[in-house]
Amino acid sequence: MRRLQPGQRLVLATHNPGKLREIAAMLAPLGVQVVSAGALGLPEPEETEPDFIGNAMLKARAAATASFLPALADDSGFCVTALGGAPGVYSARWAGPSKDFNAAMARVIAETGDAADRSAWFVCVLCLAWPDGEAQCFEGRVDGTMVWPPRGERGFGYDPLFLPAGGAETYGEMDQDAKHATSHRARAFAQLLDACFG
C-alpha cells in the first residue's frame, strides 16, 4: 500500500459534519492537507453496497476519481443484536432526509421493544483510495449496550444510545478526546496509520 506523505492533499469523502470533525482531528497531527468532499463540490454517491466495506470503498473511489487526489472515506453504523444488526449500513437512512437522529434513536427503541438482549456495537470502516483505483480498507468495532433514554449532548448520531463495554458514560456523555482514543473509528484509524502513513 502506498503511503501518504506530510504536506500531501487528502480528500475526506464525507458530507457528514460530525464525521468530518472527528476524522480531521485524527489527521491533524500527521501534516496532511485535508479538504472535504463538500468543499470541493463533489457529489455524494448513493450508498448501494450491502456492507460497510463496500460503501466505504465506493465513496473513497468516487472522491479520488473526481478530485484526482487520494481520498479517505468512512462508512460506519450502529448495530443492535436484537434487530439482527440493524440499523447497520442503514444507520444514516434511519435518520431520514432531515438527519433527525432523535427520531432514528426512537425507532431503534420502538423496534427493539421488550427484547431482553440490549447488546449493541459500533462499526467503522475507513477506506483510502487513489485516483488509479487502488484502495485499502480498515475496520474497527466497539461492543457495548444500548441505553434508554439517550444520555449526553456530545458526539453525534446514535452516540447518546451507546454505552461501551466496561464504561460508565455513553458516547454522548464522554469527553470527545476520550472517545477519539477508544472508538470504533479510532481502532480503524490506528490500522490506517500503521499501513499508510510515515
Give the residue numbers marked as catalytic: 75
Contacts of residue 183, defined as CB under 8 A and 6 or more positions apart, other chains included, come to 22, 122, 124, 140, 142, 171
C-alpha cell at 162: 451507546
Contacts of residue 62, defined as CB under 8 A and 6 or more positions apart, other chains included, come to 13, 42, 43, 45, 71
Q: Judging by DSSP bridges, how do beta strands 135-146 and 71-80 pair with one another?
A: unpaired
